[in-house]
Amino acid sequence: MDILLTAAGVIGLIFLLLGLGTWVFAGLAAVALISLVWLAGFDLDRAGTILSRILYRAGNAWELSAIPLFILMGELIFRSNISERLFRGLEPWAQKIPGGILHTNVFGCAIFAAVSGSSAATTATIGKITTHELSRRGYDRHLSIGSLAGAGSLGLLIPPSIVMIVYGVQAEVSISQLFMAGVIPGLLIALLYSGYIAALALHRPEKAPRGMTTGLSLLASLIYLAPVVLLILVVMGSIYSGIATPSEAAAVGVAATLALLAAQKELSLSMFREALAATLLNATMVCSILVTAALLSTAMGYLHLPRELAGFIAGLELSPALLLLALALFYIVLGLFLDGISITVMSLPITLPIVLQAGYDPIWFGVFLVIMVELGQITPPVGFNLFVLQGLTGEHIGRVAYSALPFFMLMCLAAALVCVYPGLALWLPQWLAG
């Protein structure tokens, strides 16, 4: 019972500080310090010495360098016409399927996710083109917004993924294997979304009128898709050919993006300055949270909280299915209040030992966790994708959340399939490992 009271006290303190409006990184650092001094009984000097060493070590992790670089890559693409070219290239293919260009939301987000790594960036970049076009052509507004909200979250699952980098650093597992583990589940979710859109369009044709087309042939449309496909090949090819690590591949991707924009005569000093400024804000937020999360993990270790809590849950003798259900509900509740990075770094010191003790593969759990984080992107009141779409469409946040509900349920189905068939996540990395 003592361990439950300790865990409840730590979690309650975190939510108290966040509820008071404290910055997440400051709240994590404060909870770590209070836990060591108040709960572990350390004097202030000893606690400060421990935390300062951890802060220095975590801040110098080489893997963190990939985060600002992937964010910069997404910011540069967001300010270019690559998203518009992507839409034009996908349109002739989407028109062949029931649901028409509604599928460009799904296909576009799935493709852009492979160069972005950010859910919000994926939603904003694809949405700035498709929301206007779909509205102009008479497509159902709820279906348009909902499909974009759901598909935008693929930016977290399809590699390269910033959340996967954060998980890999904390769990000390191969980021390259994590990237590959997310491919098939990401494509599965995209397939479920497109299948739902097609089935609904067949049943309710008025929601997705075919309308006019660009007249582009399928072959000609590939020219429009070439820039983003080239970036995907450069980034992922550099990783799996052995030329670059995931961190180095981020730098390769930025260089390729700059070269591509320069070749298209889109690169300018003002554009580059804006992208750098946005990158600085976002990367500082993510990295500061990740570094201070290491402080919290250390404090939890000194309290023996993860080990004791894992032992307590193991003593309950929950079946694997019930354990995963409990974890899924836990993460969905966290997703109501926290962003994906915060969910990952705050929960992992507690949940990862439990999962490992239950015998689950840490690579598989990384995919499961990212899907849970994706669900949080489309649930109010703190669903980042919902806020992005509210800004793009002018709709009330409640209407945006309602539109996203069917795609929330489809993602829950995907999570269940990954639980029942773990090979969906594990087959590709194992096959590539030989």
pLDDT tens readout for residues 287-342: 777 677 777 777 777 777 666 666 666 667 778 888 888 888 888 877 776 667 77
Asked whether residue 131 is domain-assigned, the answer is yes
**Does the pTM of the predicted model rise above 0.85?**
no
**Torsion (CA) 227, 273, 388, 151 in degrees, nearest 10:** 20
Question: Whole-angstrom Cα distance, residue 259 to residue 359?
Answer: 46
Rounded Cα distance, 344 and 269, in Å: 36
Give pLDDT tens digits for 52-85: 887 777 777 676 777 788 778 878 887 888 777 8
Helices (H) and strands (E) in the chain, counts: 21, 0
Q: In angstroms, rounded to a whole number, what is the distance separating the alpha carbons of residues 387 and 341?
A: 17
pLDDT, tens only, 335-373: 776 667 777 877 787 788 888 888 899 999 999 999 998
Q: What is the DSSP string of 314-370?
A: HHTT--HHHHHHHHHHHHHHHHTTS-HHHHHHHHHHHHHHHHHHTT--HHHHHHHHH
> What is the pLDDT, as a whole number, of residue 185?
95
Q: Tell me the C-alpha distance between 16 and 135, whole Å.
A: 42
Neighbours of 57 (CB within 10 A): 12
In a domain, 46, yes or no: no
pLDDT for the residue 258: 92
Q: Is 424 domain-assigned? A: yes
For 14-31, write each residue's pLDDT tens digit. Answer: 777 767 777 777 887 888
Token pair 């399928």 in the structure block, residue = 218
Answer whether residue 359 is part of any domain.
yes
Q: How much helix, strand and coil, in percent to the nearest 5, is found in the chain?
A: 80, 0, 20
Asked if the model's pLDDT at residue 206 lies above 70, the reply is: yes
Q: What is the mean pLDDT of residues 250-257?
A: 88
Q: Is 40 domain-assigned?
A: no
Give me the phi and psi of 70, to 5 degrees please. Answer: -65, -35
Predicted local confidence at residue 211, as pLDDT: 57
Residue position matching structure tokens 């992937």:
70
pLDDT at position 127 is 82
Residue (of 197, 158, 213) closest to 181 by Cα position: 158
Look at residue 34 and tell me if it is in a domain. no
Number of folded domains in the chain? 1
Cβ contact 347:162 at 8 Å: no
Q: Tell whether 235 is covered by a domain.
A: yes
Which domain range does residue 141 map to?
Answer: 62-432
Domain annotation covers residue 3: no
